[in-house]
């Protein structure tokens, strides 16, 4: 009773007049108590008054002191909605309670929704304090006259409270709703209460909230609802299953007529508009809420932002669809060769936004592990890291585009790499070696940079190589024996396209950066879980933490210019097997990669506006001869980039590359390609970085180290040094000092006219070395070896030995112009012999060499 008295008072006033109303109420109550004391019922009424007083005081204290916590009042989890950059729905995720529930703000819904909801459910919503006493009196009279409950008098605020309580029709529940409604009105604004209602109201089945209802029944957002559509939906919550427009269209239409009439009564509709709308029947589409556009991307973004129900992403649905179609066409073409999957990433260079991300060709196909996200899975990178290695070397002043590198048979420890086509080019410019993706020059460049320093650069670029065999990184990093992730690598290339400025990729329009260390780890954990549940295997998907900054200078503009020119100039590129329509694609740079064993094919292509990354392969690691980057992945990447140019409203492509302003003409050695010294016999005009311009940590351009002026003994032709006898006649002469294996290979090709002479044999420095000049001991020149046909050749190996000066650290052994061993001078080399006449050559680091010819026969 006391609570109803209090509710009656509160329902008549607004929050601003609450204090005045309370004073009036207490004054009246005290007068009533004094009157009762004089009557015969004083003792009985005093008890009743005490109960009322205690109830009122307790209620007032509860209303004032109980904190407001919407999360406690409405614990049900909301759905997650992922949208593209134009607010097109990409995907909806069910809430944990299996309901479709999307939170809304009044600013994001049609005004007709607000008018229709208030008219249908609570006409005095904006005026009462949580309880509508007029509605209570009206409902009581209607129920008494009808002899049953026909009206409940629940306000929107009371319904909001009721969403969190059991749906029982009892007086106790009604009293609780009234009490909580008063409390809610004290702590939340009318707008907040209406937003809660429009988020949680039932609209039939497992549809909760106006946004989910608008998308389910009309295929549009609540912001786009018309007056008639809003009226139809506003009528559903009173009896959700009875008024579902997809199942009971007639009942829903009649209910809409009622809501429109109420809207006319409240002034939301004028008479003419009401008459026009009442005869219109909105078209119900019964759209499925289980949309799944860009499923890998949506799963990834949702896992990165699990607490955000409304995610407006940077993805462009048209670009996504185009990339998916091209990738599917590519895999359909390669399927007969055993290639089942692929991934693609499209980044917008100026902003770093992810415009498309395809994780596999079929998300729903478990046979090909379709739910694995190939864009963040670690795969062997092949040659895809080479542009980053060359850019680092350019930045550190270790290399010029014209610098000559050595594409000759070489050994790095026990590792003897080869080029993709198993051939050698000899001396080759650095920019052409990059364009042709040659392995030996790339490892030479990495050796100059240093593996640890290169790893530091890769970390700054957001690329964290993975090593599935847990080996230490070595020079094989240059040929991609490590693992890399397509999204990370594509973003690193985008930094080159921007002239060296690195920034994190963006996936949300309202979030300028993304914490990539934790986000990629989450995505890879999802991949691991799917593979584990599917009993499949794949490349290692481990992720290490990293520290990334919003924007950093990764490379200098000059380094990026040189790399881009090498990857875009058709005069430098190798004759890769591209389809005719893709050859000579203007203003585009691209780099391919093929992993060892033909398990992964890569291409990353970029122009001034977009960077596109494509990976093709099988998630279970099965190889295929078709998995060659230039032939498989390059056409797909370049088609995507071409479509971006023709289909999207972007400016005309900026010409690539744009020369930086601090390049200056320079005199270069015609042989080494580096800055010429006075000893270089022939020169040419090239370019280098101005010494005063060291933007982004660029070092000084290298000078020629091949040509050296030495003193030569006039009588013997031997080299002289400061310790040689001073009574010798001598003259200066310039020689090309090639590294040992290079000199040996050039000599075998007949490309070396004259090697540096040996040191003067009379010099004390030579005599102090306690060792002779380089000489092959076995086999001897002209020697013949007879093999037994009945014995295994592995038990008839020949020992190859040489003696060398004590200062020698390495000997390079060439057999028939092919490098097959690099050993210390004290090690014996064993060779499984083959029939024929052979030439054996041994070379030291200084270019000193000895050679013998011998014969092997079988008798």
- Can you give the pLDDT at residue 699? 54
What is residue 82's three-state secondary structure?
Answer: strand
- Can you give the pLDDT at residue 6? 41
Using pLDDT thresholds of 50, 70 and 90, give the confidence band for residue 530: very low
What is residue 852's three-state secondary structure?
Answer: strand
- Can you give the pLDDT at residue 393? 94
What average pLDDT does range 613-638 have in this prediction? 94
Buried b (16+ CB within 10 A) or exposed e, 637-654: bbbbbbbbbeeeeeeebe
CA neighbor of 401 nearest in space, from 387, 413, 415: 387
- Can you give the pLDDT at residue 772? 60
Q: What is the per-residue pLDDT across 717-738, written as a single tens digit (0 to 9) for each?
A: 888 877 787 788 888 999 888 8
Q: What is the per-residue pLDDT across 115-133, written as a single tens digit (0 to 9) for each?
A: 999 999 988 899 888 887 7
CA neighbor of 613 nearest in space, from 495, 494, 512: 494
20: pLDDT strictly greater than 60: no
For every residue of 585-603, DSSP letters joined together read -TT-EEEEEE-TTS-EEEE
Contacts of 327 (CB under 8 A, 6+ apart): 342, 343, 344, 358, 361, 614, 636
- Higher-confidence residue: 19 or 458? 458
- CB count in 10 Å sphere of residue 681: 11
- CB count in 10 Å sphere of residue 583: 13
Distances from the Cα of 109 to the Cα of 220, 221, 742, angstroms? 11, 8, 73
Q: Which residues pair with 313 in a beta bridge?
A: 508
CA neighbor of 614 nearest in space, from 642, 585, 588, 635: 635
- Can you give the pLDDT at residue 29? 60
In angstroms, the CA 265 to CA 124 distance is 12
CA neighbor of 467 nearest in space, from 389, 381, 372, 529: 381
Q: Which of 29-38, 461-470, 809-818 has the lowest mean pLDDT?
A: 29-38
Do the Cβ atoms of 829 and 835 come closer than 8 Å?
A: no
- Can you give the pLDDT at residue 578? 57
- Can you give the pLDDT at residue 7? 43
547: pLDDT strictly greater than 70: no
Q: What is the per-residue pLDDT across 166-222, written as a single tens digit (0 to 9) for each?
A: 566 666 667 777 878 887 888 888 999 999 999 999 999 999 999 999 999 998 999
Q: Which residues pair with 791 in a beta bridge?
A: none
Mean pLDDT of the chain: 81
The single residue listed with the structure tokens 């009762």 is 36
Helix or strand run (H / E) with residue 735: strand 730-736
Q: Which of 12-16, 322-326, 656-660 has the lowest mean pLDDT?
A: 12-16
User: Which alpha helices (DSSP H) does 148-209 contain, by range?
Assistant: 156-162, 171-187, 190-200
Whole-structure pTM value: 0.78
Q: Which of 435-449, 528-542, 674-688, 822-836 has the lowest mean pLDDT?
A: 528-542
Using pLDDT thresholds of 50, 70 and 90, give the confidence band for residue 793: confident
What average pLDDT does range 807-827 have in this prediction? 82
What average pLDDT does range 558-582 have in this prediction? 77
Using pLDDT thresholds of 50, 70 and 90, give the confidence band for residue 363: very high
What is residue 719's three-state secondary structure?
Answer: strand
- Can you give the pLDDT at residue 65? 46
Cα end-to-end span (Å), the chain? 121
- Can you give the pLDDT at residue 580? 60
Q: What is the per-residue pLDDT across 33-54, written as a single tens digit (0 to 9) for each?
A: 666 555 555 555 555 555 555 5
Using pLDDT thresholds of 50, 70 and 90, give the confidence band for residue 507: very high
In angstroms, the CA 370 to CA 531 distance is 10
3-state helix, strand, coil in the chain (%, to 5): 40, 20, 45
Using pLDDT thresholds of 50, 70 and 90, give the confidence band for residue 32: low
In angstroms, the CA 238 to CA 243 distance is 8
- Can you give the pLDDT at residue 17? 43
Using pLDDT thresholds of 50, 70 and 90, give the confidence band for residue 28: low
- CB count in 10 Å sphere of residue 307: 5
What is residue 199's three-state secondary structure?
Answer: helix
Q: What is the per-residue pLDDT across 262-280, written as a single tens digit (0 to 9) for each?
A: 999 999 999 999 999 988 8
Q: What is the per-residue pLDDT across 90-117, written as a single tens digit (0 to 9) for each?
A: 999 988 888 898 889 999 899 999 999 9
In the Cβ-directed half-sphere of 753, how many Cα atoms lie within 13 Å? 3
The single residue listed with the structure tokens 């994780």 is 359
Handedness of CA 762, 765, 769, 772 (dihedral sign): negative
Q: What is the per-residue pLDDT across 475-500, written as a single tens digit (0 to 9) for each?
A: 889 988 888 999 999 999 999 999 99
Per cent of the chain over pLDDT 90 is: 42
Q: Which residues pair with 81 in a beta bridge?
A: 92, 310
Do the Cβ atoms of 509 and 314 come closer than 8 Å?
A: yes
In the Cβ-directed half-sphere of 797, how many Cα atoms lie within 13 Å? 10
- Can you give the pLDDT at residue 48? 58
In angstroms, the CA 56 to CA 218 distance is 48
């Amino acid at each position: 009773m006391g609570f109803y008295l209090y509710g009656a008072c509160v329902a008549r006033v607004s929050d601003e007049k609450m204090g005045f109303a309370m004073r009036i109420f207490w004054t009246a109550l005290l007068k009533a108590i004094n009157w009762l004391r004089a009557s015969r019922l004083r003792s009985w009424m005093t008890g009743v008054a005490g109960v009322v007083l205690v109830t009122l005081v307790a209620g007032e204290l509860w209303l004032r002191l109980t904190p407001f916590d919407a999360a406690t009042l409405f614990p049900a989890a909301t759905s997650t909605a992922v949208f593209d950059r134009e607010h097109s729905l990409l995907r909806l995720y069910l809430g944990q309670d299996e309901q479709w529930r999307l939170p809304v703000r009044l600013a994001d819904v049609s005004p007709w929704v607000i008018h229709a909801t208030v008219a249908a459910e609570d006409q005095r919503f904006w005026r009462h304090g949580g309880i509508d006493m007029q509605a209570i009196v009206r409902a009581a009279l209607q129920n008494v006259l009808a002899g049953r409950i026909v009206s409940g008098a629940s306000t929107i605020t009371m319904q909001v409270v009721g969403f969190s309580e059991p749906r029982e029709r009892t007086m106790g529940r009604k009293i609780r709703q009234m009490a909580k409604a008063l409390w809610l009105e004290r702590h939340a604004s009318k707008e907040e209460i209406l937003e809660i209602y429009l988020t949680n109201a039932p609209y039939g089945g497992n549809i909760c909230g106006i946004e989910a209802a608008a998308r389910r029944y009309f295929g549009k957002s609540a912001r786009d609802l018309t007056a008639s559509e809003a009226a139809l939906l506003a009528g559903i919550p009173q009896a959700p299953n009875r008024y579902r427009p997809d199942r009971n269209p007639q009942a829903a239409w009649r209910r809409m007529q009622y809501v429109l009439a109420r809207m006319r009564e409240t002034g939301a509709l004028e008479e003419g508009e009401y008459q026009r709308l009442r005869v219109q029947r909105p078209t119900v589409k019964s759209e499925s809420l289980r949309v799944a556009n860009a499923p890998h991307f949506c799963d990834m973004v949702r896992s990165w932002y699990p607490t955000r129900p409304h995610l407006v992403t940077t993805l462009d649905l048209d670009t996504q669809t185009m990339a998916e179609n091209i990738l599917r066409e590519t895999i359909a073409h390669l399927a007969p060769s055993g290639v089942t999957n692929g991934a693609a990433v499209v980044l917008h260079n100026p902003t770093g936004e992810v415009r498309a991300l395809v994780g596999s060709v079929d998300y729903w196909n478990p046979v090909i592990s379709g739910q694995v996200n190939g864009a963040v899975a670690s795969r062997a990178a092949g040659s895809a890291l080479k542009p980053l290695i060359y850019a680092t070397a350019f930045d550190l002043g270790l290399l010029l585009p014209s610098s000559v590198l050595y594409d000759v048979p070489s050994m790095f420890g026990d590792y003897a790499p080869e080029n993709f086509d198993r051939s050698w080019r000899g001396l080759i410019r650095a920019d052409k070696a990059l364009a042709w993706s040659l392995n030996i020059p790339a490892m030479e460049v990495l050796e100059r940079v240093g593996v640890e320093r290169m790893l530091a650069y890769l970390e700054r670029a957001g690329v964290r190589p993975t090593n599935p065999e847990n080996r230490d990184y070595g020079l094989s990093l240059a040929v991609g024996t490590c693992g890399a992730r397509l999204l990370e690598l594509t973003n690193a290339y985008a930094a080159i396209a921007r002239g060296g400025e690195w920034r994190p990729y963006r996936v949300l329009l309202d979030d300028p950066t993304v914490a990539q260390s934790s986000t990629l780890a989450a995505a890879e954990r999802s991949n691991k879980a799917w593979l584990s549940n599917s009993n499949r295997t794949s490349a290692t998907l481990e992720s290490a933490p990293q520290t990334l900054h919003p924007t950093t200078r990764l490379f200098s503009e000059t380094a990026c210019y040189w790399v881009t020119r090498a990857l875009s100039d058709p005069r430098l590129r190798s004759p890769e097997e591209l389809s005719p329509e893709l050859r000579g694609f203007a203003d585009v740079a691209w780099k391919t990669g093929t992993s060892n064993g033909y398990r992964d094919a890569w291409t990353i292509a970029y122009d001034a506006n977009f960077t596109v990354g494509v990976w093709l392969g099988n998630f279970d690691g099965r190889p295929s001869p078709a998995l060659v980057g230039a032939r498989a992945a390059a056409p797909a990447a370049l088609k995507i980039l071409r479509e971006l140019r023709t289909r999207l409203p972007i400016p005309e492509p900026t010409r690539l590359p744009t020369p930086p302003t601090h390049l200056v003409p320079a005199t270069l050695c015609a042989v080494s390609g580096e800055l010429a010294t006075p000893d270089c016999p022939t020169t040419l005009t090239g370019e280098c970085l101005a010494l005063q311009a060291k933007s982004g940590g660029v070092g000084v351009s290298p000078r020629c180290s091949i040509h050296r002026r030495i003193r030569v003994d006039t009588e013997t032709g031997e080299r002289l040094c400061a310790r040689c006898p001073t009574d010798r006649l001598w003259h200066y002469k310039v020689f090309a000092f090639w590294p040992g294996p290079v000199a040996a290979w050039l000599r075998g090709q007949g490309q070396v006219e004259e090697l540096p002479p040996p040191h003067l044999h009379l010099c004390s420095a030579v005599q102090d070395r306690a060792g002779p000049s380089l000489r092959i001991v076995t086999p001897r020149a002209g020697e013949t070896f007879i093999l037994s046909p009945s014995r295994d050749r592995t038990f008839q190996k020949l020992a190859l030995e040489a003696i060398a000066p004590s200062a020698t650290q390495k000997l390079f052994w060439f057999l028939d112009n092919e490098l097959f061993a690099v050993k210390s001078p004290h090690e014996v080399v064993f060779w499984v012999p083959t029939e024929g006449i052979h030439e054996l050559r041994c070379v030291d680091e200084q270019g000193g060499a000895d050679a013998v010819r011998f014969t092997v026969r079988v008798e």
